[in-house]
Structure 1
Amino acid sequence: MKIRVFESEHDAGLYAAALAERIVQDTEHPVLGLATGRTVLPFYEALVRLEHCGLDLSRCITINLDEYIGLEADHPQSYHRFMHEHLFHHVHIPESQIHIPNGTALNLDVECARYDEVLNRHPIDFQLLGIGVNGHVGFNEPNDLLQSKTHVVNLTPETITHNAKFFPDMDQVPKSAITMGVQAILQAKQIVLMAFGEEKADIVARAIHGEVRTDIPASILQLHRDVTIVLDEASARKLPGRKYL
């Protein structure tokens, strides 16, 4: 596991995008596992700039981690909308090569199975991750048992409360989601986890240096052979050996 700490989120995003660029350049049909949320915006901003500077993303296949259940693709807070606003509208990845779970599917079990088939056909070369304040990756929430396959998850009260700031009122906050399972995440050839801000400092330290445990889902990344943790100084402040004023 490699840990890189940057002075700014901008610099961290440039570094993470440079790691993705290497995969894109060295792979015939690169598969990028993508995440959503404020944390990964510097990555997308840098990746868009790289394409405008000559990086060819048209061969990329993208597979997103998750989507809220019950939100239409054009809902302002859907992950479909997020991805198109911050990446797909600005780069030349064909729509047929973009994969995001359908949170409004009539049969969610069938949708989960369909998504696992997508993952089976397109093993992930580069997996981008954020980390929730409770340690979730994707929407794999803390639990006694982490599910390996794509599945429907009931979001924890902590996650729902954290997401409430993005919705007009609590009643509109989704209570469930479809998420990629931990198996697909761990099978990615390379994983990059990004975390910024002091609110993430405790969970980052526990995920990286604590025991591997299902109530801190991100701790399973300790089992992967090629993980890079990309932080700012605030999120790194509780890591052993780092001294801060």
Structure 2
Amino acid sequence: MEIIVAPTPESAASVAAQAVLAGLPAGKDPVLGLATGSSPLGLYAELAAAVADGRADFSAAKGFALDEYVGLPATHPESYRQVLVREVCEVIGLPVDGLNVPDGTGATLAELEAGAAAYDAAIAAAGGIDVQILGIGANGHVGFNEPASSLSSRTRVKRLAARTRRDNARFFASESEVPTHCITQGLGTVMDARRLVLIATGEAKANAVGAAVEGPLSASCPASILQWHANAIVVLDEAAAASLQNREYYDDAARGLPLNAV
């Protein structure tokens, strides 16, 4: 795992985008794992800049969302399908028909579970994810893998933690409108990606980042699973890095780091 600390959120976005681009395969259309939330927005803007100047082309790419709410129709403005259409497809040029999102519209648990299994199968049929973009929740979740999630879990139905629902209430008229359940890629599904790029910015993420990077590998901090991946890159701004104890080493290790070789 490589930890790179950039001075500002904007420079962190630039470094994270470089890490994504360096992980894209040569000679084939890329398959991206897509995170929502505020942390990756700058990264997506940097990818759009790479498209504009000819360094990248996502016009034939496939994208797989990390998660989706249960109970929201696909047309709801806060469904993750619609969020990714706005924040990724329309920004980097990934075709909407290449965007895959877990199906949270099943009427029964059996239907939701069948849709979750089909989602893992669709990722496999696409050849697997080349680069999975990740954020981190204040409680250490990645995707919607809340604390106590199995470290080998697959795409499945999960109940959202109360803190996660409070954090996401800003996107809805009230907290009561935030769905209570989701379909999320499991940690085992995330770990199947060939490269992981996690971006975190802001003081509110510092404790979760410290637990994920320097704490024990534990279901109590789902993001700590990145310690077990052979090609994981964590990009932080100064505020998100504030609780790291081994910062001097990370800075030394990152000097001159060739991102296409990590």
User: TM-score over 0.5 for the alignment?
Assistant: yes
**5+ residue gaps, structure 1:** none
Matched residues in 2 for 1:8 and 1:75: separation? Answer: 33
> Under a length normalisation based on structure 2, what TM-score does the superposition of the two structures give?
0.87
2:119 corresponds to 1:119: no
For residue 217 of structure 1, what is the aligned residue in structure 2? 222
State the Cα distance separating 1:231 from its structure 2 match.
0.4
Deviations 1:174-216 (A, max 9, x none): 1110000111211111111111111111111111111101111
For residue 59 of structure 1, what is the aligned residue in structure 2? 60
Matched residues in 2 for 1:87 and 1:35: separation? Answer: 10
Verify the 8 A CA contact 1:32 1:125 in the aligned structure 2: yes
Q: 2:121 corresponds to which letter in structure 1?
A: E
State the Cα distance separating 1:15 from its structure 2 match.
1.6
Verify the 8 A CA contact 2:25 2:130 in the aligned structure 1: no
Q: 1:49 corresponds to which letter in structure 2?
A: A
Matched residues in 2 for 1:138 and 1:77: separation? Answer: 16
Verify the 8 A CA contact 1:24 1:57 in the aligned structure 2: no
SS in structure 2 of the partner of residue 28 of structure 1: coil
1:2 to 1:147, Cα distance in 2 relative to 1, 3 A: closer
Task: Give the alignment's Cα RMSD to 1 decimal.
Answer: 1.7
After superposition, residues 155-166 of structure 1 pair within 5 angstroms as: 155-166=160-171
Matched residues in 1 for 2:73 and 2:36: separation? Answer: 16
Aligned-pair identity in percent equals 40
Matched residues in 1 for 2:121 and 2:34: separation? Answer: 17
Verify the 8 A CA contact 2:23 2:195 in the aligned structure 1: no
Q: 2:36 corresponds to which letter in structure 1?
A: T
Deviations 1:68-111 (A, max 9, x none): 11112232221111111112123433333211112223421221
Bigger Cα displacement from structure 2, 222-231 vs 55-64: 55-64
Aligned residues: 243
Deviations 1:31-69 (A, max 9, x none): 111100001100111111211222211232111100111
SS in structure 1 of the partner of residue 24 of structure 2: helix
SS in structure 1 of the partner of residue 158 of structure 2: strand
For residue 5 of structure 1, what is the aligned residue in structure 2? 5
> Under a length normalisation based on structure 1, what TM-score does the superposition of the two structures give?
0.93
Matched residues in 2 for 1:144 and 1:58: separation? Answer: 35
**5+ residue gaps, structure 2:** 249-262
After superposition, residues 58-207 of structure 1 pair within 5 angstroms as: 58-106=59-107, 107-122=111-126, 123-143=128-148, 145-146=150-151, 148-207=153-212
Deviations 1:106-148 (A, max 9, x none): 4212211210111221211101100011111100111163452
